[in-house]
Chains A and B, each alone.
Chain A
Amino acid sequence: MTQPDGHRLQEQLGSALLLAWRNLAHDRARFIVTMVGVTIAVVLIAVQVGLFNGFTSTTTGLIEHSRADLWVAVKGLRNFEITMPQREAHRAAVLAVPGVQRAEDLMVAFAPWHKPQGGYESVLVIGFDPNGGLVGPWNVVSGQLEDLRQQDAVFIDDLNLDKLGVSKIGDTAEIFNHRAKLVGLTHGIRSFTTSPYIFASFRNAVNYGPNKDDQTNYVLVKLAPGAEPKAVQAEIKRRLPDVDVLTRPEFATMTSDYWMFTTGAGSAVLVSAGLGLFIGMVIVAQVLYATTIDHLAEFATLRAMGAPRSFVLRIIGWQATIAAVGGHVIGITLAMLIAKGSENGTALITVTPTMAVGLFLVTYLMCGLAALVSVKKALSIDPAMVFQR
């Protein structure tokens, strides 16, 4: 059997890489175990981190998609969803602050959605100003925002059609015993709390929640061009001492931190990612160590020939690199397919190119650390053992 390809590989990349590759690939079963080990670790980490990213973007989606520079809420706010009403008159007070160009009301309230066929689901009613433009649904795939001006009109996300017991535009349900008519659909707007968002005009939303006519949950602020956010923020706080005023990034961070870390949801996925890393490292360490032990006689022969220790290190380094590159390519491909499949599910998994690159560094580090166990063994070889039969 001829092996001209190996000869060319040796010519182009050197003997250390050739030997590393052949040592790994010579035992196909072990090579497959190595690749499966690294792949599992990469998929586990990628999916868990992807879930973390997906959760984070889900918790802050409405804030990040808003065009409000400042959010004004009742003092003591912890997150977007759980909030207390404030007087609607605050909007006028905010509008009077120098540097404020526009202020809009936003109602956010949990409510029961009574399905047409019976039963109910908890929903989060988002009441906003359809004429305003500071906040509202995005990725609208059916209907027009102006349709929300109609009596009892609501938008929901098409991912929640089944859950809410409706199927098409024109279907009706009830929120707090008040009629809700579906006039539009969005795609991909998820709620972290599992209570789907129901978008309605502020005027209609008052009918669906506990708020009174003169109450709002948030006042959204658009700054005038050139206005200094910190100065306006401080002035609103001075004039309205019983409110919190947050910039959009501050509010997004506060909300994602609350859901990801206060509830333990984020910690859980990060722990799973860490476990994936640990499992992968153990598998790779075992395989690389076993491969090294199997080839100790060859390393001894190399050392007896006069090969420097750096050459042996290069072989083990290349073995770790091959495991890292092979496992990462397969693993990240699978993770991207899983992420693609999650786009139509309730839990979004986000695997970005940046994350793929970052994960490669993690994988390489994992394989490198795993190889350290082998390095110690390989470097302690006595070249004289080649004569000890």
Chain B
Amino acid sequence: MNNPAIQIHRTSLIYGSGEEMVRAVDAVDLTIPRGELTALMGPSGSGKTSLLMIMGCLLRPTEGRVRMLGQEIGTGLDQNAMAKLRLAHIGFIYQSYNLFPALTALETVRLALDLKGWDKARARAEAPCLLAAVGLEDRMHHRPGQLSGGQKQRVAIARALAGDPEIILGDEPTAALDSRTGHAVMELLRELAHQQGRAVVVVTHDPRVGEMADRRVAMADGRLVSDGQNLGEH
């Protein structure tokens, strides 16, 4: 696999010790390529969200090696270094959107661009383009309370795309949406992977979402139990 986005080698996340020890992630080996939509699947407690948080530099693994975009992140990075990596390379999408109730869609995207250090002129031009790219050109000045669930998730996707990150990580991004809207959001994420060459990983327990991914990775009890390409119509 040429220049993968994320490489995870024998990585574990362990809580507690002795008899109370829990292996939330247990010796996982996984490589996430660019240009592909990967679905991380499994029942509750299978470790898929913990693994996503390791990929997203939100959790430090207890054991193993993790490389992101060729850089070793493993167990040695401090919180500030992890925050810088997230800011530079990763966009997050959440089940409950995690938008700011007081900010409009445009302000939300501008905030993300501000954080990434974009100058005012570039950010002014870029923010409406990102919202237009997710089909929200006519909802730019609306706050979350004035948007539907699907529109909120599109704002979250536009925010995740701010600054052009190579990696997009989604935690149940369609769980709060009806099936039609969820399908549309997954189509959008597939486009981001296929047309823009990003590595997109979504955690889901919904088989329909899994079917829309290029690859389905299944977990149980912290371990990878299957890893297969989708051969369906998508």
Q: Which residues of A contact B (CB under 8 A)?
A: 1-4, 6-7, 10-11, 14-15, 18-19, 22-23, 25-26, 297-298, 301-308, 311, 383-384, 386-387, 389
Contact = CB atoms under 8 A, between A and B. Distances in A.
Interface string B43-85: 0000001001100101100000000000000000000100111
Contacts, number: 95
Interface in B168-183: 171
A378 to B, nearest CB: 15
B94 A387 contact: yes
Given A1-B142, A306-B84, A386-B94, A6 B59 contact: no
B80 A386 contact: no
Interface stretch (B1-9, B99-107, B204-212): B99-107
Given A307-B83, A308-B83, A7 B94 contact: no
Nearest to A18: B107
A388 B80 CA distance: 21
24 contacts: A1-B142, A10-B107, A15-B114, A15-B115, A18-B111, A19-B100, A22-B103, A26-B101, A298-B100, A301-B94, A301-B100, A304-B58, A304-B92, A305-B87, A305-B115, A306-B87, A306-B88, A306-B90, A306-B115, A308-B80, A383-B83, A386-B94, A387-B53, A389-B95
B141 A3 contact: yes
B111 A387 contact: no
A307 B146 CA distance: 26
- Greatest chain B CB density within 10 A among A4, A15, A26, A389 is at A15
Given A26-B102, A304-B86, A307-B83, 9 more contacts: A7-B107, A10-B107, A10-B110, A14-B114, A19-B100, A22-B100, A305-B112, A306-B88, A387-B52
Nearest to A311: B115
A7 B105 CA distance: 10
Given A26-B101, A305-B112, A6 B83 contact: no
A297 B141 CA distance: 22
A307 B141 contact: no
Contact of A384 (B59, B106, B112, B142): B59
- Greatest chain B CB density within 10 A among A22, A301, A386, A387 is at A387
A7 B106 contact: yes
A246 to B, nearest CB: 62
Contacts of B58: 304, 383-384, 386-387
B102 A387 contact: no
B92 A18 contact: no
Contacts of A22: 100, 102-103
Interface residues of B, number: 39
B10 interface: no
B96 A18 contact: no
A301 B98 contact: yes
A1 B141 contact: yes
Interface in B105-138: 106-107, 110-112, 114-115, 120, 124
A303 B107 contact: no
Given A19-B100, A26-B102, A298-B100, A7 B83 contact: no
Contacts of B85: 306
A15 B53 CA distance: 26
A11 B125 CA distance: 12
Contact of A307 (B49, B102, B115, B120): B115
Contacts of B143: 1, 3
Enumerate the 5 nearest inter-chain pairs by beta-carbon distance, A residue then B residue, closest first: A306-B87, A22-B102, A306-B86, A2-B141, A26-B102
A376 B140 CA distance: 34
Contacts of A10: 107, 110-111, 114
Contacts of B59: 384
Contacts of A389: 95-96
B101 A303 contact: no
Nearest to A308: B83
Interface string B160-203: 00000000000100000000000000000000000000000000
